[in-house]
Chains A and B, each alone.
Chain A
């Protein structure tokens, strides 16, 4: 427990820092707010000790959910101690140290168990129409005997015998043999996934060839199968030298082979890094930003993933051809592409529950290495890569283009991203189903899905209607190449910079309207009933005194509960010619801080943030019955220090 300054470009707050076993907590001294900022240790990405200044020793903390905090600690020794402790706390070595093993949402055992069965993959395969004439549940991977990164429950073509499966598995990296990911009921086409074949320059495997034949036969409507290698051709060829590689069309009858160049995890990690550097720039010019964004290549990678997903969705829905997707190990790019394609094909995955199922299926069950990719435990930094972040962004890009097609809203995606890193729930722990079972995750931790489901009202997209044409069937993206469709997602990567986000939320506004509509419907019914009663009573000339009408009041909404408004930002920039910059502005630029209020509970967001900076935005959380219009004063009162220091001469 130490006393510390916290400084930001706009707001410098004096407060106290607490380190607990799970969180970094900063409590501001200011007596009226005592604002608290909570940061989970597992969210800490990097800690940087910066050069000591006159005011103290700065410590910069970057989080995996894109929050950045700077602490200025008066004593260098304290700073060093905090630094050392945080380094240790942010990099746990054992799963048991993770937050989910101590997190207790006050649910009893039964509730916890129910939480874990909310998302049931057996049900999901049933929903797809399986097992059927062509596909069956295989027990070949019972006790993870064939492949330890696959789940036990796997669907394979009926004609694929155990012998074929085992043979094929020996010819595939990490024995990840071709299995079903998605079955398209309408025309029997399917999406299958695997790892790369161990073909080297000339090796072949009869069982593997038979396996692909079996997949083709499971789709009677088509006489070939697409094999999509999601890697750039060069990468795949390089793998041949290591005895791996890709399918030779000459050896496999009736396949069409296709490369789709999605870069590997290292390229993606660097790309995100570069983009975040752009997001972190202090008052960047438009050119700095756009150049930086382009240089990062991030949106190009997003487009590559989307293009792959679109290709597969089209092959399945329009051509009726089954597709086998793989990359190297078949757990990163393959997961991205299969899930994007499924999302495009099947409206179920665009619902709240369906989306949870999709992540559970294509990511969690098929052994996406959450622990390695998101650095939950201290490990090789080269294994870390924003693979699922990219998938989540693909979904957001689709939501932007099809605003009525998804049952959930942006907040849902942001919260999922947050919890992939938070380790507050057990869902994303470990690298495979096998490891999770060994750790007894379900008995010792809680499920995120149950938590999200309980709070689903917060995650609904008001524009979604199950009977709307946009929610039906396959999402059709334009065939013309439209690069401009892919946009920078400020709501994610700058999400702690409330000032940058739109100050009024259309989603929240419409949700409030809908909520009120529902109340009105109920009231209407009640009123009609009573009216009828009274009329009957009057008809009978009986004098029955009816109850006083309830004083329910519906006086419109106010998006703008005018008591708070946003405050101006720093419009003077770093303009030297500005005549009257206060001297104190110098250190403003030196640090960047973003605050987050309500992290105490499980909610990463912050929508209820009452930070003054967030301006009118908060107000959009309108209470349906609320008509309390505060006097129409603008924010002139909260002359907070966050106001740009401007013209103080």
Chain B
């Protein structure tokens, strides 16, 4: 097995583990192909089980022969291992480094993981496009499923099955694909049952500097409009950026060619800007100095909350177009795989009660992120501690989760899931034993045969025992559109994720528990009362029967 070569020292005794809010633990450190394990041999001290793929960066330093390895994880946790012996320490450090940066996906843990639970429902088949389509096909006959991309030939980042206007045939789709970035022709993202308006998404049109046009493209998106109605195109780039894109062959829809559409530019940042923002934010959160002002200015300088505000604002605008203006929209940025998906998915959280349920939210992630081709593998390769400046990393998905948390905070009773559910998704997007977030799109996942070779995250999450951890006790189905506030005063830092390892959550956890108890006790009483009422009713009817012959 290849891993053995990478593990120079599989085991070291007398290693001391330091973690925030826990006493130091001494024990034996073991390295396996996928885990770093520390066991103390004392009965009730906790063990450390860390996936190598969760390691973002390591530092090492020496004081005499005592080596210290500081491990910075993708979930922002920082742990410290004191390892006696310089050689052992160096060996461990280089092994961890090698094991946490395996270049072959098929060597990753999901391909080796064997579930310890019985799979009741295979998550790989929980959210099939056909089933999702059925949810609104009863309300409209204007849309159809197209299998034009079955072999991923038309658009490598699209799934095999997409929803398109009924009046547009596959031949036209092929033509439109050549006019859109990455072959991402406009497809249906969301159908608003209340008024039949839709959200579509795509890549940017390849107009270039000479204003190329594509009749099929115009026909396709016009096909989604009702007679005499107008639609909106939300470009997630500023007008400036969109104009610059023309020089590289990209561009935006010209009014002259799309007279029934109005274009709105919203500026949502991309790639390294977001990555830098995350790096700065986490650095600020880890800064333990006494100065209050420095904290606020560092928080400000990270721009993280600015990004949150921008993304949420764009999503609210999209939702407002649909629900208030009764207008359909097309959303795209450049590729249509990042900010576009943030906006389409958040708009659905606002508009669609189903996407606020656990099942519906999973379906949303499956549809709008995984199948829509958000490149998870690239974006989540590194997290806040990465020092190699690679081009493709960006916390796009984390920003989305943060925005969901912001809405959840403003509407604490309207979501079936709780904060832990969002944190869990964040963790698994960056390091997981499940195959769900591997690969950059359906095509890659197909080639990797993930469905056959790995377990789906949903298979595990959707077991009743696990679900209970993620269920919001306050949930009450709310069929309304929920309009969040995007004022800075309404958008605080998501402490549950960014300060998770920097403050004790004991008292907050106790409060959560208390909340659950209050509600559980109420339900219990309700059940008891119902039983007694029934008993009483039965007795009384019996009574009545005895009386009347």
Spot the interface stretch: A71-79, A280-288, A308-316: A280-288
Contacts of A289 in B (CB 8 A): 488-489
Q: Are A549 and B536 in contact (CB under 8 A)?
A: yes
Spot the interface stretch: B92-100, B292-300, B368-376, B450-458: B292-300
Q: Are B293 and A634 in contact (CB under 8 A)?
A: no
Q: Report the separation of the CA atoms of residues A503 and B412 in the bound assembly, to the nearest whole angstrom.
A: 8
Contact of A527 among B410, B413, B533 (CB under 8 A): B533
Q: Is A239 an interface residue (CB 8 A)?
A: no
Q: Report the separation of the CA atoms of residues A510 and B410 in the bound assembly, to the nearest whole angstrom.
A: 16
Q: Is A524 an interface residue (CB 8 A)?
A: yes
- Categorize the interface residue count of chain B: 35 or more
Q: Taking beta carbons and an 8 Å cutoff, which residues of B are in contact with A?
A: 194, 232, 239, 262-266, 285, 288-297, 299-300, 303, 305-306, 308-309, 313, 316-317, 319-321, 323-325, 327, 409-414, 474, 476-483, 485-493, 495, 499, 502-504, 507-508, 510-511, 514-515, 518-519, 521-522, 525-526, 528-529, 532-533, 535-537, 539-540, 542-544, 546-547
Q: Lowest 6 A-B CB distances belong to which pairs?
A: A632-B479, A289-B488, A403-B511, A290-B300, A294-B296, A483-B295
A-B contact pairs, 6 of them (CB 8 A): A297-B293, A531-B532, A554-B526, A559-B413, A560-B414, A635-B480
Q: What 1/0 flags go to A494-535 for Cβ under 8 Å of B?
A: 100101111110100110011011001101100110110011
Contact of B263 among A482, A487, A572, A579 (CB under 8 A): A579
Shortest A416–chain B CB gap in Å is 22
Interface residues of A in 255-302 (CB under 8 A from B): 279, 283-291, 293-294, 297, 299-300
Tell whether A483 pairs with B297 under 8 Å between CB atoms, given A527-B532, A568-B483, A577-B239: no
Tell whether A510 pairs with B292 under 8 Å between CB atoms, given A531-B535, A545-B547: no
Interface residues of A in 300-348 (CB under 8 A from B): 300, 303
Q: Are A286 and B485 in contact (CB under 8 A)?
A: no
Q: Are B525 and A490 in contact (CB under 8 A)?
A: no
Contacts of B493 in A (CB 8 A): 484
Contact of A557 among B291, B323, B476 (CB under 8 A): B476
Q: Is A478 an interface residue (CB 8 A)?
A: yes
Residue of A nearest to B514 (CB): A463
Spot the interface stretch: A156-164, A378-386, A639-647: A639-647
Contact of A404 among B410, B478, B511 (CB under 8 A): B511
Interface residues of A in 117-149 (CB under 8 A from B): none
Q: What 1/0 flags go to A529-561 for Cβ under 8 Å of B?
A: 011001100100001011011000010111110
Residue of A nearest to B477 (CB): A560
Contacts of B292 in A (CB 8 A): 299-300, 303, 483, 486
Most buried by B among A520, A549, A578: A520
Contacts of A575 in B (CB 8 A): 266
Q: Are B476 and A559 in contact (CB under 8 A)?
A: yes
Shortest A143–chain B CB gap in Å is 45
Q: Are A468 and B539 in contact (CB under 8 A)?
A: no
Shortest A504–chain B CB gap in Å is 4
Tell whether A291 pairs with B300 under 8 Å between CB atoms, given A520-B522, A569-B486: yes
Q: Are B525 and A517 in contact (CB under 8 A)?
A: yes
Contacts of B309 in A (CB 8 A): 285-286
Residue of B nearest to A560 (CB): B478
Q: Report the separation of the CA atoms of residues A176 and B514 in the bound assembly, to the nearest whole angstrom.
A: 45
Q: Are B547 and A543 in contact (CB under 8 A)?
A: yes
Q: Are B529 and A634 in contact (CB under 8 A)?
A: no
Q: Are A294 and B525 in contact (CB under 8 A)?
A: no
Q: Are A404 and B519 in contact (CB under 8 A)?
A: no
Most buried by A among B321, B493, B521: B521
Contacts of B499 in A (CB 8 A): 484
Q: Is A181 an interface residue (CB 8 A)?
A: no
Most buried by A among B262, B324, B508: B324
Q: Are B515 and A577 in contact (CB under 8 A)?
A: no
Shortest B7–chain A CB gap in Å is 36
Q: Are B317 and A572 in contact (CB under 8 A)?
A: yes
Most buried by B among A285, A527, A567: A527
Tell whether A616 pairs with B411 under 8 Å between CB atoms, given A299-B296, A513-B522, A568-B320: yes
Contacts of B476 in A (CB 8 A): 556-560
A463-B518, A571-B316, A636-B323 are known contacts; what are 5 more A-B pairs with Cβ within 8 Å? A481-B290, A510-B515, A520-B526, A569-B486, A632-B479
Residue of A nearest to B481 (CB): A634
Q: Are A528 and B482 in contact (CB under 8 A)?
A: no
Q: Are B518 and A549 in contact (CB under 8 A)?
A: no
Contact of A513 among B511, B519, B529 (CB under 8 A): B519
Q: Report the separation of the CA atoms of residues A560 and B474 in the bound assembly, to the nearest whole angstrom.
A: 12
Contact of B510 among A470, A484, A566 (CB under 8 A): A470
Q: Are B324 and A502 in contact (CB under 8 A)?
A: no
Contacts of A569 in B (CB 8 A): 316, 483, 485-487
Q: Is A580 an interface residue (CB 8 A)?
A: yes
Q: Are B529 and A523 in contact (CB under 8 A)?
A: yes
Contacts of B411 in A (CB 8 A): 502-504, 616
Q: Are A520 and B525 in contact (CB under 8 A)?
A: yes
Most buried by B among A478, A513, A548, A580: A513
Q: Are A506 and B474 in contact (CB under 8 A)?
A: yes
Tell whether A482 pairs with B414 under 8 Å between CB atoms, given A520-B522, A527-B529: no
Shortest B514–chain A CB gap in Å is 5
Contacts of A524 in B (CB 8 A): 525, 528-529, 532
Residue of B nearest to A556 (CB): B476
Contact of A517 among B293, B313, B413, B522 (CB under 8 A): B522
Interface residues of A in 419-441 (CB under 8 A from B): none
Contact of B490 among A478, A490, A616, A644 (CB under 8 A): A490
Contact of A478 among B291, B295, B504, B542 (CB under 8 A): B504
Q: Are B507 and A402 in contact (CB under 8 A)?
A: yes
Q: Report the separation of the CA atoms of residues A572 and B325 in the bound assembly, to the nearest whole angstrom.
A: 14
Most buried by B among A465, A560, A572: A560
Q: Is A51 an interface residue (CB 8 A)?
A: no
Q: Are A565 and B480 in contact (CB under 8 A)?
A: yes
Contacts of B482 in A (CB 8 A): 503, 565-566, 616
Shortest A565–chain B CB gap in Å is 4
Q: Are A567 and B483 in contact (CB under 8 A)?
A: yes
Shortest B252–chain A CB gap in Å is 12
Q: Are B503 and A469 in contact (CB under 8 A)?
A: no
Interface residues of A in 561-611 (CB under 8 A from B): 562, 565-569, 571-573, 575, 577-580
Shortest B369–chain A CB gap in Å is 23
Q: Report the separation of the CA atoms of residues A615 and B350 in the bound assembly, to the nearest whole angstrom.
A: 14
Q: Are B290 and A483 in contact (CB under 8 A)?
A: yes
Q: Are B495 and A502 in contact (CB under 8 A)?
A: no
